[in-house]
Structure 1
Amino acid sequence: MSSVLLGYDTRVMSGAMIYIQRDLKISDVQQEVLAGTINVYALLGSAIAGRTCDWVGRRYTIAMAGVIFFVGAFFMAFATNYAFLMVGRFVAGIGVGYGLMIAPVYSVEISPRSIRGFTTSFTEMFINFGALLGYVSNYFFAKLATNLGWRFMMGVGAIPSLMLFVGGLVMPESPLWLVLQGRVGMARRISEKTSESLPEAQERLADIKEAAGIPKDNHDEVVEVPKTRTGGRGAWKEMFIHPTRAVLHITIAGIGLCFFQQASGIVTVMMYSPTIFEKAGIKSDSGKLLATISVGVTKTIFLVSAFYLDKFGRRILLLTSTGGLVCSLVGLGIGLTVIDHHPNEKLTWAIAVCFCCVLSSVATFSMGLGPVAWVYSSEIFPLRLRALGSGLAVAMNRLISGVILMTFISLYKAITIGGAFFLFGGVAFAAFVFFFTLLPETRGRGLEEMEEMFGSFFKWRSTVKELEERKKLKAEEEKTNDLA
């Protein structure tokens, strides 16, 4: 539901802006700010949520996200002017940031190792579902009067926020957070319910206790946890002032991945798809909105790759996806440039190229870069740094998304719309190099193995091999001890 909120609220604006501009008479700059500020506000929300989830727990933070977004949706639906609408956008953005940060973290911490990638990819999966609902909402509410249609488009977002609030109150708490509070007995019971077997539950709990500084032979229901391990104390210092090689690598990988996910410009393809289709030659409102719905459908369909995150791994899907995105963005740049240079001709082939490249952009993004960013950035940070690290990764993601959305119209007016997509294609190529160089495979790894795996910078292949050898030796040693 938290992902549906983000997907719906950001994508519904792509169609709603047509009618908001007509009703409230806003300028191009105000339109850019309206489209992008929710991501900047989400940055603030995700940063605050990183602390909140350490203080009150994961599930209550999820419930808070629902309440905050509901208030924002109410303000937006009843806005009488641009300033009032921006207030609602601010509140909704804080709620989106809360949900977007905590949902992947909760999924990572509650899921069995064998399906952790799949369940955490729900973030991107349901962002797409929310986006599709936003596009459909645009199409149907556009039939209402201009001053009513966009209000219904914005107000419908209150429905999933209510579901999020109720869900947050009834879900089990994260075992990792419970252990950090010293409530080991409750963590054990929840871990047994959310693991595939009793031995796996015991192994997960032992890893968490070790990371929390609790002796493995301590089997009390309630224990005292060292204060340095609770509440994220010292996390900023450990990540940015005196980081170890492993923590530095993890921080660069997690935040860099979320940076490139948005810097590739995919958000402009989805948010400004009506503008792109208009530039490509589709002039009617209904035609642009129907073409935009096809973008949402394509993006949702190609998320089927999320089923294979735990089979093929994160790395191969990420690299394949990014390579396809580079080709699609360059193709879109070529098509739009050709159309720009022939303003008085209707070039059917160029329009078809643009339409196909828009669809292939969202398809290739959904195959890997979309879901992997949320999975990867949520699972690689050590327990003591997870809330802060994931919060900063989401904050970076929303910041870049907001900056791109708020500058896209000015950018394409300065360097042409085709030139803008050539630029995004170049950024996507840089992303491919970054991923290939710095991101190791994390499929099947325990959450507390990550720091050890990232410890050898630029030598992740040998690190993985060493880990396999150590696990094998450890298993043989345990077997020998059991026999003895």
Structure 2
Amino acid sequence: MTEGKGVEARKIVGDFNPSKKPKSNKYAFGCAILASMTSILLGYDIGVMSGAAIYIKRDLKVSDVQIEILMGIINLYSLIGSCLAGRTSDWIGRRYTIVFAGTIFFVGAILMGFSPNYAFLMFGRFVAGIGIGYALMIAPVYTAEVSPASTRGFLTSFPEVFINGGILLGYISNYAFSKLSLKLGWRMMLGVGVFPSILLTLGVLAMPESPRWLVMRGRLGEATKVLNKTSDSKEEAQLRLAEIKQAAGIPESCNDDVVQVTEKNTGEGVWKELFLHPTPAIRHIVIAALGIHFFQQASGVDAVVLYSPRIFEKAGITDDTQKLLATVAVGFVKTLFILVATFMLDRVGRRPLLLSSVGGMVLSLLTLAISLTIIDQSNSKLMWAIGLSITMVLTYVATFSIGSGPITWVYSSEIFPLRLRAQGAAAGVVVNRTTSGVISMTFLSLTKAITIGGAFFLYFGIAAVGWLFFYTVLPETRGKTLEDMEGSFGTFRAKSNNTNNNGIENGNSKVPQLQMGTNLQP
């Protein structure tokens, strides 16, 4: 970065100082809310299927293996949408990709709601899965690209907030429609998913296009207008534009409203740069992004959320209504703690919050595994063990939601350079959904093979390995601009540097020692 840009950066360093309370930007906040609503689609499907599966099995007379496949296969179907979403969003823009996601899910929800048999229901989940894949990839990317650096962690945690909100809505829908007839109840549960997709498609019409996508397309005039609205100050908007132009290969001196762009800026050759010939920094970024997605799901969160009625049944709750009410409690706790997390991301930082969260998950999984094993081996009803199991389920989802849940999407959407962001985020979603699909489609078979307690011992071991991975591989990213992020990667160390690029050390304000854009090592 040039000396002139460094001087300008020092003048506005306060805008990126995470210890300084940022100016509220209602326009960026509104954009993040609208974009993140796409995540309701996945959340609602996860929540509603946990209860609907009870009635689907009875109505369609299918086996546990077929239920496993039905519940988990949507994650694998979503891979199609995720793989296509990177190129689609580079082609038609982030905004219209969100519209496309909502439209596809709308069709899928209609098909599931009118399913006459198991095969037709699987087709409906195939269509809905593609829409979910698009939504999962594009929401965090758009939100990261439109957010000012000072509140990017807060705003890019919104997709996870809406996933949890969708899960809670799904649980409530299960309880609300559980009193209907067997044939109508589960179809209503699945069919009402059309309403979030309609609201999403209409809401997107009020959103601007991502300023970074506009620059990639050479539409500098439009990008400038969006940056002026979504930045904390005019100076920050100018700096963001200069850094995006530099990342996109457009001369800083170019001030035309529309410029010609090269093929590199439209997504050509991205996969080669990510996986075949990466620089040390890009290799580190790819490992970090794919690793955080893998461990988020491999620690068993979807097994807990999707099969919570089965877990509560194993713990001693047998009445359908009580099981569904218990799942509503799970959804409420998840939603409550994800809201807490959104206000901590830009204050505490990604790394300490993630390590604390996963540490809590490790302890709760171990305790849950022990309590379920005691219940399984006991001939009498142990109320203390039942209470402990339920408490540990709630503790697990709380600790997941306060860190691992939102930080996975925040972190993976902000660390990729502009030219690689859409495709890199799509690769992360592919790992996320594949792992989720494997966990979802093996849980019931796993519990039969090694008992339900044994399954949670396995998830405990994976979560413990994940904690070590995060401690070793992931540097702090709080307060850095998206264009400055690449300099924090490239060297693997066991401990992250405590000083960020704004001179913030141990959370206390300090005189800035480095220019914005200086390459930092983790």
CA distance in 1, matches of 2:490, 2:501: 11
Among residues 232, 237, 247, which one is paired with 2:267 in the alignment?
232
CA distance in 2, matches of 1:25, 1:56: 44
Offset at 1:467?
8.5
CA distance in 1, matches of 2:206, 2:343: 27
Q: Is the contact made by 1:453 and 1:467 (CA closer than 8 Å) also made in structure 2?
A: no
Residue aligning to 1:480: none
Offset at 1:59?
0.3
Residue aligning to 2:219: 183
Is the counterpart of residue 299 in structure 1 residue 344 in structure 2?
no
Among residues 186, 191, 197, which one is paired with 1:155 in the alignment?
191
Offset at 1:198?
0.1
CA distance in 1, matches of 2:467, 2:259: 46
Residue aligning to 1:387: 422
Moved more, 51-60 or 214-223: 214-223
Equivalent residues in 2 for 1:122-141, closer than 5 Å:
122-141=158-177
Among residues 122, 126, 131, which one is paired with 1:95 in the alignment?
131
Q: What's the secondary structure of 2:259's corresponding residue? A: coil
CA distance in 2, matches of 1:29, 1:367: 32
Among residues 413, 418, 425, which one is paired with 1:378 in the alignment?
413
Q: What's the secondary structure of 2:296's corresponding residue? A: helix
Offset at 1:463?
10
Q: Deviations over 1:350-406 (max 9, x none)?
A: 001100000000000011000000000000001010001000101110110011100
Equivalent residues in 2 for 1:255-266, closer than 5 Å:
255-266=290-301
Residue aligning to 1:422: 457
Offset at 1:445?
0.3
Q: Is the contact made by 1:35 and 1:405 (CA closer than 8 Å) also made in structure 2?
A: yes
Q: Is the contact made by 2:167 and 2:331 (CA closer than 8 Å) also made in structure 1?
A: yes
Residue aligning to 2:181: 145
Residue aligning to 2:118: 82
Offset at 1:60?
0.2
Q: What's the secondary structure of 1:291's corresponding residue? A: helix
Between Structure 1 and Structure 2, the one with more helix by share is 1
Q: Deviations over 1:36-70 (max 9, x none)?
A: 01111112211111110000000000000010000
CA distance in 1, matches of 2:492, 2:360: 27
CA distance in 2, matches of 1:346, 1:472: 62
Q: Is the contact made by 2:298 and 2:436 (CA closer than 8 Å) also made in structure 1?
A: yes
CA distance in 2, matches of 1:243, 1:448: 17
> What code does the residue aligned with 2:111 have?
F
Distance 1:463 1:319, change over 3 A: closer
Offset at 1:449?
1.1
Equivalent residues in 2 for 1:150-229, closer than 5 Å:
150-228=186-264
Q: Deviations over 1:88-110 (max 9, x none)?
A: 00000000110110000000000
Offset at 1:226?
2.4
Q: Deviations over 1:89-132 (max 9, x none)?
A: 00000001101100000000001111111111011111111000
Distance 1:474 1:283, change over 3 A: closer
> What code does the residue aligned with 1:24 have?
L
Q: Is the contact made by 1:39 and 1:398 (CA closer than 8 Å) also made in structure 2?
A: yes
Among residues 33, 51, 56, which one is paired with 2:92 in the alignment?
56
Q: Deviations over 1:433-456 (max 9, x none)?
A: 000000000000010111111033
Is the counterpart of residue 28 in structure 1 residue 64 in structure 2?
yes
Residue aligning to 2:437: 402
Among residues 377, 387, 395, which one is paired with 1:352 in the alignment?
387
Q: Is the contact made by 1:245 and 1:457 (CA closer than 8 Å) also made in structure 2?
A: no
> What code does the residue aligned with 2:239 have?
E
Residue aligning to 2:286: 251
Gaps of 5+ in 2: 1-36, 505-511
Among residues 453, 457, 462, which one is paired with 2:488 in the alignment?
453
Q: Is the contact made by 1:192 and 1:201 (CA closer than 8 Å) also made in structure 2?
A: yes
Q: What's the secondary structure of 1:416's corresponding residue? A: helix
Q: Deviations over 1:127-160 (max 9, x none)?
A: 1110001001001100000000001100111001
CA distance in 2, matches of 1:274, 1:110: 39
Question: What is the CA RMSD across the aligned residues, in angstroms?
Answer: 1.7
CA distance in 1, matches of 2:374, 2:491: 47
Among residues 29, 39, 47, which one is paired with 2:83 in the alignment?
47
Among residues 104, 118, 121, which one is paired with 2:154 in the alignment?
118
Q: Is the contact made by 1:70 and 1:161 (CA closer than 8 Å) also made in structure 2?
A: yes
Q: Is the contact made by 2:43 and 2:163 (CA closer than 8 Å) also made in structure 1?
A: yes
Among residues 322, 325, 340, which one is paired with 1:290 in the alignment?
325
Q: What's the secondary structure of 2:205's corresponding residue? A: helix
Moved more, 218-227 or 30-39: 218-227
Task: List 4+ stretches of structure 1 deviating above 3 A.
Answer: 459-469, 471-475
Q: What's the secondary structure of 2:241's corresponding residue? A: helix
Residue aligning to 2:10: none
Offset at 1:169?
2.9
Q: Deviations over 1:165-194 (max 9, x none)?
A: 122233100000000100001000010001
Is the counterpart of residue 73 in structure 1 residue 109 in structure 2?
yes
Q: Deviations over 1:191-234 (max 9, x none)?
A: 00011100000011011000011111111111122222x22111
> What code does the residue aligned with 2:467 have?
F
TM-score by length of 1: 0.95
CA distance in 2, matches of 1:283, 1:178: 55
Q: Is the contact made by 1:453 and 1:460 (CA closer than 8 Å) also made in structure 2?
A: no
Q: What's the secondary structure of 2:317's corresponding residue? A: coil
Q: Is the contact made by 1:454 and 1:460 (CA closer than 8 Å) also made in structure 2?
A: no
CA distance in 2, matches of 1:464, 1:316: 13
Q: What's the secondary structure of 1:283's corresponding residue? A: coil
